[in-house]
Amino acid sequence: MDMIKGHNHNHGAQQNPIVSEANGWKNPAVRITWIGLFSNVGMAGAKGVGGVVFNSQALLADAVHAVGDTVADFLTLATVSMASKDPTRRYPRGYGKVEAMGAVGVSSILILAGVGMAVNGFDAILSAFDLHLPNFMGQFGHSHSHGHVDTAAAATAVADKVEAPVANINAAWLAVASIGIKEWLYRATMKVAIEKRSSVLEANAWHHRLDSLTSVVAAVTIAAGHFFNAAWLDPLGGLLVSYAIIKAGISTGKESVYQLMDRSLALDDETFEMVRDKAEDFLRSKGLDYRVENLQVLPSGPNLSAYLDVIVQKGALTLPEANQIGREVEEDLMSKIVGMKCVDVHIREEGEKLRGII
């Protein structure tokens, strides 16, 4: 036999790493999501009541935001649960892409929240100068020949706003408590997301960090309004936070879209290097003078698929021997790399034309 056409592929039946423990509360991904959901419901109620009792618009806005967070938590929970299903005949590589879709959804919520906050913050800043978004451009180009009359009117308008009732300082304590809870949720959720390589949990973790930042803005606004009547800090802080929100949403959403497009990991990616090193180490351990080429590692939620060529000398192996080497490489990668759901090994002889990119 002049040419070796050994080709092996294996679709792992191992359980999705995001549910490597028993389902339900014992699963850390599900558990931290439920904790976040219960926290959001509790904080939404507390902030809503506190906003009314303590006359705090910032706290009321934070309460509405907390209600929106529960939607993200339900979306995260649904996708994590769906992605936990074992591979089937019709879905031999599992349901990892469902999690990527969920991450896109959570990222979209982040981006929309950031844009909404930016618009509201910008409008609030304009309102301090008696301007509003619908007629801002027209007034921006308006002649200011009225001199001191317009200046006095603007000063009076700003003074009226400053003299408006300020929030009770007790509202700030609710915001401070929210900061602590949300920062803990961010760290706990991100820890699980990193351990399980879960894109949807990572997106939800950033959502918790966003909530922590918005609560910081609310606390500063309430305290500043109470002590210094510095109401302008609210919209300015909102603009700064909105930038962080939009940036986090785009970052997590972009990576999830790449997963849905089956983009291979970069050559310098840590996971890519790990797969390559494991395959090469196995071949060396067998005393085989072979090399790995054309490696592609595709993430899908917490799952991985790998495609690689093993190059051998011409005439060095028979077809059964090539198939055996392929199976051994697959089994080794499946057993040593958490989340590896599919391995496709192609044995080819030196000088044989590369197969097409998968």
Query: CA-CA distance, 88 to 104, in Å (whole number)?
Result: 24
**For 8-12, 23-27, 277-281, which range has the lowest pLDDT when averaged over its residues?**
8-12
252 in the same domain as 276: no
**For 21-25, 34-38, 164-168, which range has the lowest pLDDT when averaged over its residues?**
21-25
Residue with the larger pLDDT of the pair 98 and 244: 98
239 in the same domain as 165: yes
301 in the same domain as 171: no
117 in the same domain as 255: yes
The confidence band for 8, taking pLDDT boundaries of 50, 70 and 90, is low
Q: In the chain, pLDDT over 70 holds for what percent of residues?
A: 75
Under 8 Å between Cβ of 245 and 110: yes
Show the tokens assigned to 159: 């003074």
**For 18-27, 32-41, 57-66, 190-199, which range has the lowest pLDDT when averaged over its residues?**
18-27
The confidence band for 298, taking pLDDT boundaries of 50, 70 and 90, is very high
- This prediction has a pTM of 0.63
Supply the CATH number for residue 300's domain. 3.30.70.1350
Residue 208 lies in a domain: yes
Under 8 Å between Cβ of 339 and 83: no
**For 13-17, 62-66, 205-209, 216-220, which range has the lowest pLDDT when averaged over its residues?**
13-17
286 in the same domain as 209: no
> pLDDT for 120-134, tens place per residue?
778 877 776 666 555
How confident is the model over 294-310, as a mean pLDDT? 89
Residue 160 lies in a domain: yes
Residue owning tokens 């092996």: 8
Under 8 Å between Cβ of 93 and 303: yes
- Asked if pLDDT for residue 145 goes beyond 80, the answer is no
Domain of 342, in residue numbers: 265-349
How confident is the model over 349-358, as a mean pLDDT? 62
How confident is the model over 242-258, as a mean pLDDT? 83
299 in the same domain as 226: no
157 in the same domain as 97: yes
Show the tokens assigned to 32: 């931290």
Count of domains observed in the chain: 2
> pLDDT for 194-242, tens place per residue?
888 787 888 888 888 888 887 888 788 778 877 877 666 666 766 777 7
CA distance readout (Å), 185 to 112, 188, 190, 202, 204: 21, 5, 8, 12, 10
**147 three-state secondary structure:** coil
Residue with the larger pLDDT of the pair 35 and 238: 35
189 in the same domain as 47: yes
The confidence band for 14, taking pLDDT boundaries of 50, 70 and 90, is very low
Query: CA-CA distance, 264 to 295, in Å (whole number)?
Result: 9
